[in-house]
Amino acid sequence: MIRNLQGKKVLMRVDFNVPLNSNNEITDDTRIIKALPTILHVLHEGGAVILLSHLGRPLKKLNSDGSINKEKFSLKHLRFRLSDLLEREVKFADDTVGPNAFDLANSLKSGEVLLLENTRFFKEESAGDIEFAAKLAKLADCYINDAFGTAHRAHASTTTVARFFEPEDRCFGYLIEKEIKYADRVLHSPERPFTAILGGAKVSDKIQLIDRLIEIANHILIGGGMSYTFIKAMGGKIGNSLVEDEQLDLALELLAKAKEMNVDLIIPEDTIAGDAFSENAESQIFDSYRIEDGWMGLDIGEKAIEKYRQLIMSSRTILWNGPLGVFEFPKFANGTMAVAKAVADATSKGAFSLIGGGDSVSAINKSGLSDRVSFISTGGGAMLEYLEGKPLPGIKAILDKS
């Protein structure tokens, strides 16, 4: 954290990309809550905070006349909720880097908070534009990045802006610090046995993660749609299940690498299949290697659940990314919910559990067990890239000493 914040103006990139309903009311304020510790720290130390964030994708969802829907994507909808949470007035600059923002920032006093309008109203933001970043930097004395969810984007407000501040005047906020600390714990010093649970739709999205985890984990439990690419590659019959034919060779390579490294890469033994991709589909249980035509695997079966539970319960470190089935349909949510329960139970027994990735986060929230796991990441894509070992531009920009 930056030392001596008394009297300083801090430009703070947060992730306030919260869901709004059709009346522009916040339906889930988790992201605002997660940003509070860093904001409050700066205020308590005598600093003033200038908050900047994106909200949605306004330039991708333009009005029919090509203009930006400034009402729908405005951060002004967050102002009063934020004000309640911080127990103080929140000023708002509707022009982000325009004259209003400059005047308000100029007159900002210790303990005060200014919220800037959506950074993505400007195409310069996603382009990482240097002049736009310079204008943002002019508003403040220091820069804190606490937006882990966008740390994998080389945008002006997440990355370029950092170079305008001396290394001692820029840092991560507490949220990013925590995300990195826990991801590093899993990747670099896991207590063993270390079990990774990987689900989701496609192998192609998770290849790099599986490849890296084979070098780190003791067990890798596969679930979800990607199981069937592995099963087909091994000669199984998968009926109408999701498959990526162009990844079959790669699936075999991953299996071979796991064997060579003495890692258990486990494919679900049985499958609950549906006769359609629908929540009202008829369902039937199959041996995962003998799924009949007309049926598609939509969840893991009881035998797989039992085996996965045992391995999870005997683990000391657990990483979970991606649902084990189509958990959005209650009929096919069993495997995902059972795994959520096993992860929570293992955590109660002293294991460290990290839930990283968008859909496993919604699954754990849906299961009602979110307060029984060690850490739930706020960054879907960012966490995936960090776990894969890719450098995140937002992280690098803070750490660069040049």
Residues found near ligand AMP in the complex (CB under 6 A): 200-202, 205, 224-225, 242, 297-298, 322-323, 325-326, 328, 357, 359
Minimum distance from residue 273 beta carbon to ligand AMP (Å): 9
Single-letter amino acid code for the residue at 260 = E
Minimum distance from residue 343 beta carbon to ligand AMP (Å): 16
Residue 166 sits at φ, ψ, to 5 deg, of -65, 150
Minimum distance from residue 228 beta carbon to ligand AMP (Å): 7
Residue (297 or 379) nearer to ligand AMP, CB: 297
Residue (159 or 367) nearer to ligand AMP, CB: 367
Catalytic entry in 31, 120, 153, 206: 31
Catalytic entry in 76, 185, 202, 372: 202
Residue (201 or 255) nearer to ligand AMP, CB: 201
**Dist CA 117 CA 97 (whole Å):** 9
Residue (68 or 207) nearer to ligand AMP, CB: 207
What is the chain's alpha carbon radius of gyration, rounded to the nearest angstrom? 23
Helix (H) or strand (E) holding 81: helix 79-86
Residue (145 or 334) nearer to ligand AMP, CB: 334
For residue 307, the Cα-to-chain-centroid distance in whole angstroms is 28
Widest pairwise Cα distance in the chain: 70
Catalytic entry in 358, 379, 380, 394: 358
Q: What share of the chain is helix, strand, coil (3-state, %, to 5)?
A: 45, 15, 40
Told to judge if 202 belongs to the known catalytic residues of this protein, a careful annotator would answer yes
Q: Residue 111 has which token pair?
A: 């303990």
Minimum distance from residue 222 beta carbon to ligand AMP (Å): 11
* Residue of this chain nearest to ligand AMP (CB atom): 200
Q: Which residues contact 322 (CB under 8 A, 6 or more apart)?
A: 197, 198, 199, 200, 206, 223, 224, 226, 357, 359, 360
Minimum distance from residue 358 beta carbon to ligand AMP (Å): 6
- Helical spans, DSSP H, in 87-173: 99-106, 123-127, 130-137
Told to judge if 31 belongs to the known catalytic residues of this protein, a careful annotator would answer yes
Residues designated as active site: 31, 202, 358, 381
